[in-house]
C-alpha cells in the first residue's frame, strides 16, 4: 500500500488536517463499512439463534488473536473491554489492594487511569514522570507501578519494562497513547491496556486488557461472559484465560470493524508516524515553544501564550484538529501514519 492509497482510506483527510488520534483516530472507509454491514445484518437477520451467537463468539476470539499479535501476547492473555479506563478498573479491583499498600504513579496521568487508582483503598504516591523519580518513589509497600507507556501530556515514553525489572514490582501500563502509535508490547509488563478508538482507528467504545498471568488476578465483577456454567447461588466455573474479565457484549459490527481497523496498518506504519512527528517538531520549532521529551513519540506538545482552548478552537475553525491539555497551557498534535506534510504545513500556517 502506498502512502496515497493509505490516505485515501480516510474520507475525513480530504478536508481536515486531522491531528487528534490521541483522542479519536480518523475512521477509515473499511471500518465504517464493517460497522454498517454488521448493523444491516442485525436489522434483517435478527440477533438470536445459535449461528448468530457462535459467529459472535468466533469473532471475539479472532479479535483477541489479532490484538495479541499486535502487542506480542498470547490470545488467552487478552480480554476485550470498552476502553482503557475500563481495563484499568479491572486490574485495580482484581489486585485486592488494602489500606497501607502503595501504588506509584506520575503527575502526568489521565483520569482514565487516575480514577481507578483513586477508587482503590491503596495510597497513591505521585512521582515526576521520569524513571529515576519513579524508582525513588518505590518502597517495600509498593504493590503496583501504574503509569502510561506514552504520556498523554508531553508524548514522553517511559521505560516501563526496565522499571519492572529493576524493582520487581508489578506494572500496569496505560497503553492508550502507545498501542498503535509506537511499537508497544506487553513484554516484561504485567498489564497493558488498549484503546481501540484512538491510534488503532477502531470504532467507539472498544479496547482491551492484556494480562501476563490471568490466573493471578481476581475477578471481582463477573459478567455473563465470565462463566462456562453457573449454579443457582451464583457459584460458577470461570471461562479460561483473560476472557473471563470481559465486561460485556460487542455487536458483530463493532467486532468486525476493529478487526478491519487492525488490518489497515501498512508495513511502514511505524516509520511513517515517527517521521511525521519529527517533521511536525521541525515545522513548529521556529513558531512555538515545543516540549521535546528525551524519548519522544507520535504526540507533539507545545506551549502557547494565549488560552490553549481558544487556540484549539481557532485551528478547528480552519479545519485543523488538535487538542489542548487542560491546566498545562499546552496544545497537543497527534501524528499518525496517515499524516501528510500538507496537514502539518496547514497547522503551521494557521498557527502563524
Ligand X SMILES: Cc1ncc(COP(=O)(O)O)c(C=O)c1O
Under the rule (CB under 6 A), what is the footprint of ligand X? 23, 83-85, 110, 112-113, 148, 152, 174, 176-177, 195, 207
- Considering the complex, what minimum distance in angstroms separates the CB of residue 329 from ligand X? 18
Instruction: Answer yes or no: are the C-beta atoms of 209 and 194 closer than 8 Å.
Output: yes
Closest distance to ligand X from the beta carbon of 152 (Å): 3
Query: What is the length of the chain?
Result: 352
CB 226, min distance to ligand X, A: 21
In the complex, minimum distance from the CB of residue 221 to ligand X, in angstroms, rounded to a whole number: 17
Residue nearest to ligand X (CB): 112
Indicate the burial class of 231 (C-beta count within 10 angstroms; 0-12, 13-18, 19 or more): exposed
CB of 195 to ligand X, least distance (A): 3
Choice between 77 and 177, CB closer to ligand X:
177
Residues facing residue 299 across a β-bridge: 334
Nearest residue to 269 via CA among 74, 70, 72: 70
CA-to-CA separations, 294 to 82, 147, 157, 328, in angstroms, rounded: 32, 17, 8, 19
| SS3 (DSSP) at 81 | strand
Are 297 and 177 within 8 A, CB to CB?
A: yes
Closest approach of ligand X to the CB of residue 188, in Å: 19
φ and ψ of 157, to 5 deg? -105, 135
User: Distance between CA atoms of 235 and 14, rounded to whole angstroms?
Assistant: 54
Ramachandran region, residue 104 (left: φ > 0; alpha: ψ -120 to 50; beta: rest): beta
Rounded alpha-carbon distances, angstroms, from residue 305 to 56, 289, 309, 330: 51, 9, 11, 9
Count of CB atoms situated within 10 Å of the CB of 147: 23
Between 152 and 338, whose beta carbon lies closer to ligand X? 152
Which is closer to ligand X, CB of 17 or CB of 176?
Answer: 176
Of 46 and 327, nearer to ligand X (C-beta) is 327
Closer residue to ligand X, CB minimum distance, 117 or 122: 117
> Which CB, 177 or 239, lies closer to ligand X?
177
Pick the closer one to ligand X by CB: 153 or 239. 153
CB closer to ligand X, 112 vs 283: 112
| Least separation in angstroms between CB 277 and ligand X | 16
Nearest to 31 by CA among 11, 54, 55: 11
CA distance 116 to 87: 9
Least distance to ligand X, CB of residue 76, Å = 22
Amino acid at each position: 500500500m502506498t502512502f496515497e492509497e493509505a490516505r485515501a482510506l480516510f474520507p475525513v483527510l480530504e478536508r481536515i488536517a486531522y491531528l487528534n488520534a490521541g483522542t479519536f483516530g480518523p475512521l477509515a472507509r473499511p471500518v465504517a463499512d464493517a460497522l454498517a454491514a454488521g448493523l444491516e445484518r442485525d436489522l434483517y437477520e435478527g440477533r438470536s439463534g445459535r449461528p448468530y451467537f457462535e459467529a459472535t463468539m468466533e469473532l471475539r476470539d479472532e479479535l483477541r488473536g489479532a490484538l495479541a499479535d499486535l502487542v506480542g501476547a498470547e490470545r488467552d492473555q487478552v480480554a476485550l473491554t470498552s476502553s482503557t479506563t475500563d481495563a484499568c478498573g479491572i486490574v485495580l479491583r482484581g489486585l485486592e489492594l488494602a489500606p497501607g499498600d502503595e501504588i506509584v504513579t506520575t503527575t502526568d496521568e489521565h483520569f482514565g487511569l487516575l480514577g481507578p487508582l483513586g477508587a482503590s483503598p491503596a495510597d497513591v504516591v505521585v512521582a515526576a514522570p521520569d524513571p529515576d523519580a519513579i524508582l525513588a518513589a518505590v518502597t517495600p509497600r509498593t504493590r503496583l507501578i501504574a503509569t502510561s507507556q506514552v504520556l498523554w501530556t508531553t508524548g514522553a515514553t517511559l521505560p516501563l519494562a526496565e522499571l519492572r525489572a529493576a524493582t520487581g514490582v508489578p506494572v500496569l501500563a496505560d497503553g492508550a497513547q502507545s498501542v498503535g502509535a509506537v511499537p508497544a508490547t506487553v513484554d516484561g509488563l504485567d498489564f497493558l491496556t488498549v484503546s481501540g478508538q484512538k491510534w488503532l482507528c477502531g470504532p467507539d467504545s472498544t479496547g482491551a486488557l492484556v494480562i501476563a498471568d490471568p490466573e493471578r488476578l481476581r475477578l471481582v465483577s463477573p459478567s455473563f461472559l465470565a462463566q462456562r456454567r453457573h449454579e443457582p447461588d451464583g457459584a460458577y466455573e470461570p471461562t479460561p484465560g483473560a476472557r473471563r474479565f470481559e465486561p460485556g457484549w460487542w455487536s458483530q459490527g463493532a467486532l468486525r470493524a476493529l478487526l478491519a481497523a487492525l488490518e489497515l496498518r501498512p508495513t511502514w506504519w511505524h516509520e511513517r508516524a515517527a517521521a511525521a512527528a519529527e517533521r511536525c517538531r521541525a515545522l513548529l520549532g521556529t513558531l512555538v515553544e515545543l516540549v521535546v521529551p528525551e524519548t519522544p513519540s507520535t504526540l507533539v506538545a507545545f506551549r502557547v501564550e494565549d488560552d490553549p482552548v481558544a487556540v484549539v478552537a481557532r485551528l478547528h475553525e480552519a479545519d485543523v484538529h488538535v487538542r489542548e491539555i487542560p491546566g498545562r497551557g499546552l496544545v497537543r498534535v497527534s501524528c499518525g501514519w496517515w499524516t501528510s506534510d500538507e496537514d502539518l504545513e496547514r497547522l503551521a500556517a494557521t498557527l502563524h
